[in-house]
Amino acid sequence: MIRKAVFPAAGFGTRFLPATKASPKEMLPLVDKPLIQHGVEEARASGIRDMIIVTGRGKNAIEDHFDVSFELEAMLAKKGDRKLHSLVRSISDMGDFFYVRQNLPLGLGHAVLRTMDMVGEEPFAVILSDDVIDSKVPVLRQMIDVYAKYSAGAVLAIQKVPREHVPRYGIIEGRKIGKGVYEIVDMVEKPKPEKAPSDLAIIGRYILPPSIFPALQAIKPGAGGELQLTDAIRALLSEERVLGYEFEGVRYDAGTKLGFLMANISFALKDPEIGPPLREFLRKERIS
Ligand code: G1P
């Protein structure tokens, strides 16, 4: 039903400078896997085949990562390392990859608008790979189920956040209509805490209808002077049923240094190989 996922990946990654001076933020690893690969794996596990990545200058490593690396595969085959060979090959087999450039840093709404021709006239998903979510059932899968069950026009992942954090997010106003499901009646991008309609924040997973594109073309720059996806979705509220869904899973804001480190520690502790010695190290150093 949802065949395409859009991955905005053109940002400068300024929060991670100097690490991101010459390499894309999306390629920073969680243990041994780039952030964006976590997002692509989630999409794949949710039944999505077409991965549309919005890139910019200096992002070639992303394209190379999802491409076949002939030299590397030939070297691993020669060495007889089947395990690594199939690991490397499986990355380029994860889907069909399409790239479009966001040539100007005009915001998330602008990034999504750049994919209009590739998406065409069908509903699609948007994944912000900064938001890493550890869950039993992939979050996008959970959302597709809600989308189908409620015959929704759009579904946004949402999560309660501390009041003082609301200025970092798009915040919804909604009416609860089911377990974790809200009918959204209004939304605002990065409000002041006293102006926020709730403490339910939009997290970086969306299922959107193709009518989002004309809405994106019509909106004016919003918060931070950027074209905001939140503003375009808000414009759809009169014609589409837009739902917020409190997903099951633990979310890390890997777009900040602290959230990125927390995600790394949490994923590393779960890793069968390095988890136990890492735990031992943390214990010995009295870190935990
Ligand atoms: C974007 C969206 C915002 C959403 C957030 C989730 O903001 O504009 O509505 O709450 O992602 O991570 P950004 O983090 O790009 O500032």
> Once rounded to an integer, what is the mean pLDDT over residues 241-254?
97
The pLDDT value given to residue 287: 73
Residue with tokens 């949802």: 2
Residue 287 in any domain: the answer is no
Ligand 1 binding pocket mutation candidate from 129, 169, 200 (most atoms within 8 A of CB)? 169
Overall pTM > 0.85? yes
Residue 206 in any domain: the answer is yes
Residue 267 in any domain: the answer is no
Does residue 114 have a pLDDT over 70? yes
> Once rounded to an integer, what is the mean pLDDT over residues 249-267?
96
> Once rounded to an integer, what is the mean pLDDT over residues 55-80?
93
Residue 284 in any domain: the answer is no
**H or E element at residue 76:** helix 70-79
Residue 216 in any domain: the answer is yes
What residues does ligand 1 touch, defined as CB less than 6 Å away? 108, 128, 131, 169-170, 189, 201-204, 228-230, 255
Residue nearest ligand 1's atom 11 by CA: 204
Kindly give the number of the ligand 1 atom that is closest to the alpha carbon of 201.
10
The CATH number linked to 77 is 3.90.550.10
CA distance 73 to 231: 45
The pLDDT value given to residue 224: 92
Count of domains forming the chain: 1
Residue 127 in any domain: the answer is yes
Ligand 1 binding pocket mutation candidate from 108, 216, 233 (most atoms within 8 A of CB)? 108
The pLDDT value given to residue 288: 63
Query: Which domain range does residue 85 map to?
Result: 4-255
Torsion of CA 11, 12, 17, 20, to 10 degrees: 80
Does residue 286 have a pLDDT over 90? no
How many CB atoms neighbour CB 177 within 10 A?
10
Residue 268 in any domain: the answer is no
